[in-house]
């Protein structure tokens, strides 16, 4: 499509709801994946339009603007790696950047590569339907914009469909109240306020440690405690900055060699081949180091078997007992039903110390369940609490949730949501049969979900771009997985998952959110075989001329 036609489409987008805009590709979402996919497809000469619900770029880093929101991956391992110029121009201020800095970074990227002109903000795609006659996807947004394209690429994120609990009376609350993923853009002053936080996952932990310092009084409603470990964040010194700049290629190479694409790699020793002193020495070192080391750089088998994980779990429990002054409270904060690292580990800064403060109260809602939300606060089975604000840090409808919220209909009038009712069926976590030319970046069954996500986003995007370029150069118009490829991959995901410690406990990694009707039990949503193995599968597929797909 010519740029004149594109400009006309852009005009149509704002002026008329009746004209169907036509593109080569439509991307859903202007987060990190959508932005890079747009950049790559534009470079490949396609006409592309991105539709985004929010009013700006950033995805996760646009929506999650709660106090305390920041990276758990090292900033310099998280940014895009595709442009040396970008790497040279951008400077992170902290080892783990806060949300405002990340949002600023993504706006910087959007400006630098002139991405905004191909984006339609404040438009949520509600319907997407494949027309097998024209071999095109037709979409419609909540603002009535209609568009069609050969390729539909979802970049909606695995953790973006936020969910609220369903307590009686929630709508009657007279104070301020919202989910962490829908935090207001205006600054909220919590000085002198009584605040409730419900939920103690990675998000809750970040809010709680910050809110303890801001609110007059904070009450944390905890159902199940999580194993947390220190983030050990710090400013990046000029000296470190120079080193980072000089070693970007090694940083990204190292990331890409590890299973989760973090810069930490596992210790090659088994926990059983070292002395108790050597064991504790490594745990102490990792606990004092920055980032996820204590989770992913421990003895390799601690992340593989329950027996090997026992000493690490005991070590962390000891740390919590040492950090929380009240021994009874410490026990409430220590998980008893799963080992360290079997759920996604929240990283924290003085989280446990927050509970030593006079203005912070922990309510264990397994002992005294929440019965209802009242106009003035929350009623548990034994007491009423008054609040000015209630914050829901209650998580997301994981992985398939964001796709299920779009009405996606394939070539045989089958809805993606229905096809996946008993669990996702995909090939390489990127396509599903019956849905030609639909690519799901960071979709279910993809390694990207369990990854230092931009590293895997870049891989996903580059693979999809190559596939599309291959089709265009061969004059092909449709690509979808062969049924046997889909069955094989789905089985591979299940086989790997069955061996994984993540599947032995309820969390979003095992596909569970207690507030979502069809996510009450565990399901295989994520490929746990690691990013390098996943990448190899994808590369083999491309090298075979996409033999696992039907191409026409
Ligand atoms: P989450 O891990 O699913 O945690 C949700 C929390 O809400 C849990 O403590 C859960 O308790 C609680 N909860 C849910 N429904 C409840 C109810 N009805 N009543 C009381 N409590 C309820 O969600 P999240 O904390 O938003 O984190 C999700 C993922 O996002 C993280 O694991 C991480 O991958 C990502 N994240 C990343 C960062 C970062 O990179 N820095 C920061 C935040 C989040 P139960 O455990 O009892 O269900």
Ligand 1 atom nearest residue 224's Cα: 47
CB atoms near residue 189 (< 10 Å): 8
| Pocket around ligand 1 at a 6 A CB cut-off | 70-72, 159, 165, 198-204, 206, 221, 223-224, 344, 365, 393-396, 508, 514-515
Q: Please, how many CA atoms are within 13 Å of residue 483, restricted to the half-sphere of its CB?
A: 1
pLDDT in tens, 238-267: 999 999 999 999 999 999 999 999 999 999
Q: Determine what percent of the chain falls in helix, strand and coil, rounding each to the nearest 5.
A: 40, 20, 40
User: Would you say 377 and 384 are in contact if contact means Cβ atoms under 8 Å apart?
Assistant: yes
Instruction: Name the pTM for this structure.
Output: 0.95
- Provide mean pLDDT across the span 186-197: 97
For the chain, what percent of residues have pLDDT higher than 90?
96
Query: Looking at the predicted structure, is the pLDDT value of residue 16 above 60?
Result: no
**pLDDT value for 193:** 98
pLDDT in tens, 388-424: 999 999 999 999 999 999 999 999 999 999 999 999 9
Ligand 1 atom nearest residue 202's Cα: 25
Query: Looking at the predicted structure, is the pLDDT value of residue 4 above 60?
Result: no
Place of tokens 């360290």: 340
Calculate the alpha carbon distances from 473 to 97, 459, 464, 467, 511 in Å.
41, 21, 14, 10, 39
The phi, psi pair for 185, rounded to 5°, reads -75, -30
User: Would you say 138 and 123 are in contact if contact means Cβ atoms under 8 Å apart?
Assistant: no
pLDDT in tens, 103-155: 999 999 999 999 999 999 999 999 999 999 999 999 999 999 999 999 999 99
Ligand 1 atom nearest residue 159's Cα: 30
- Provide mean pLDDT across the span 9-32: 77
Ligand 1 atom nearest residue 73's Cα: 40
Cα-to-centroid distance, 297 and ligand 1 (Å)? 23
Query: Looking at the predicted structure, is the pLDDT value of residue 3 above 90?
Result: no
**pLDDT value for 18:** 74
Give kind and range of the element (H or E) at residue 198.
strand 194-198
Cα-to-centroid distance, 272 and ligand 1 (Å)? 33
CA 295 to chain centre: 18
By alpha-carbon position, which residue is closest to atom 21 of ligand 1?
199
CB atoms near residue 49 (< 10 Å): 24
């Amino acid at each position: 499509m010519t740029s004149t036609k594109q400009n006309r489409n852009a005009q149509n987008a704002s002026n008329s709801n009746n004209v169907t805009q036509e593109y080569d590709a439509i991307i859903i979402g202007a987060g990190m994946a959508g932005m890079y996919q747009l950049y790559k497809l534009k470079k490949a000469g396609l006409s592309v339009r991105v539709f985004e619900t929010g009013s700006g770029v950033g995805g996760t880093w646009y929506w999650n603007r709660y106090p305390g929101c920041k990276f758990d991956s090292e900033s310099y391992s998280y940014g895009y790696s595709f442009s040396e110029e970008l790497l040279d121009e951008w400077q992170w201020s902290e080892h783990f950047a806060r949300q405002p800095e990340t949002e600023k970074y993504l706006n910087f990227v959007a400006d630098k590569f002139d991405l905004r002109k191909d984006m339609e903000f404040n438009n949520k795609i509600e319907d997407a339907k494949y027309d097998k006659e024209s071999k095109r996807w037709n979409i419609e947004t909540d603002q009535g914009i209609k568009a069609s394209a050969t390729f539909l690429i979802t970049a909606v994120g695995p953790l973006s469909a936020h969910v609220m609990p369903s307590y009686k009376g929630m709508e009657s609350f007279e104070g301020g109240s919202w989910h962490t993923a829908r935090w207001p853009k205006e600054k909220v002053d919590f000085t002198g306020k009584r605040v409730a936080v419900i939920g103690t996952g990675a998000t809750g932990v970040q809010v709680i440690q910050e809110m303890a310092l801001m609110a007059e009084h904070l009450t944390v409603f905890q159902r199940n405690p999580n194993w947390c470990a220190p983030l050990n964040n710090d400013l990046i010194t000029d000296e470190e900055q120079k080193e980072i700049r000089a070693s970007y290629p090694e940083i990204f190479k190292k990331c890409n060699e590890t299973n989760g694409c973090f810069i930490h790699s596992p210790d090659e020793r088994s926990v059983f081949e070292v002395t108790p002193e050597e064991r504790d020495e490594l745990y102490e070192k990792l606990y004092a180091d920055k980032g996820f080391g204590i989770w992913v750089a421990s003895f390799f088998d601690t992340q593989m078997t329950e027996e090997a994980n026992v000493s690490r779990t005991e070590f962390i429990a000891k740390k919590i007992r040492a950090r929380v002054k009240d021994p009874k409270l410490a026990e409430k904060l220590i998980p008893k039903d799963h080992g360290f690292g079997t759920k996604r580990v929240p990283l924290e800064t003085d989280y446990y110390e927050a509970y030593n403060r006079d203005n912070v109260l922990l309510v264990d809602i397994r002992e005294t369940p929440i019965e209802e939300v009242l106009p003035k606060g929350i009623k548990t089975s034994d007491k009423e609490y008054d609040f000015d604000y209630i914050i829901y840090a209650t998580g997301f409808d994981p992985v398939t949730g964001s796709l299920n919220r779009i009405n996606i209909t394939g070539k045989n009038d089958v809805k993606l949501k229905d096809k996946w009712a008993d669990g996702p069926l995909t090939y390489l976590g990127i396509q599903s049969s019956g849905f030609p030319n639909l690519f799901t970046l960071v979709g279910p069954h993809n390694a990207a979900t369990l990854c230092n996500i931009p590293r895997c986003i870049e891989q996903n995007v580059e693979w999809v771009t190559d596939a599309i370029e291959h089709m265009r150069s061969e004059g092909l118009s449709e690509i979808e997985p062969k049924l046997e490829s889909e069955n094989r991959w789905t089985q591979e995901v299940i086989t790997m998952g069955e061996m994984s410690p993540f599947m032995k406990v309820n969390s979003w990694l095992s596909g569970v959110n207690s507030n979502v009707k069809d996510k009450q039990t565990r399901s295989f949503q994520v490929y746990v075989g690691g990013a390098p193995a996943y990448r190899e599968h994808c590369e083999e597929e491309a090298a075979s001329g996409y033999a696992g797909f039907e191409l026409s």
